[in-house]
Amino acid sequence: MTISEFRSEGVTVAEWARARGFSPRLVYVVLGGERKCLRGQSYQIARELGMK
């Protein structure tokens, strides 16, 4: 899922993150490719976004 997909669904990244118990900042970091997402919360976020 990308930021534009969030917009088309009418949900913000922050809303999506909070609904799943993640930090909105960390979700933006994962979406921006600033983390490798090999383990931990960043991996869980990437998995839920369909990136892994």
- For the stretch 1-52, pLDDT in tens is 888 898 899 999 999 999 999 999 999 999 999 999 999 999 999 999 999 8
Q: What is the pLDDT of residue 2?
A: 82
Q: What is the pLDDT of residue 31?
A: 94
Q: What is the pLDDT of residue 34?
A: 94
Q: What is the pLDDT of residue 3?
A: 84
Q: How far apart are CA 50 and CA 37, in angstroms?
A: 12
Q: Which residues contact 17 (CB under 8 A, 6 or more apart)?
A: 23, 24, 26, 27, 45
The model's pTM: 0.87
Q: What is the pLDDT of residue 51?
A: 92
How many domains does the chain divide into? 1
Contact 21, 41 (CB under 8 A): no
- The domain in which residue 25 lies consists of 3-49
**30, two tokens:** 């994962």
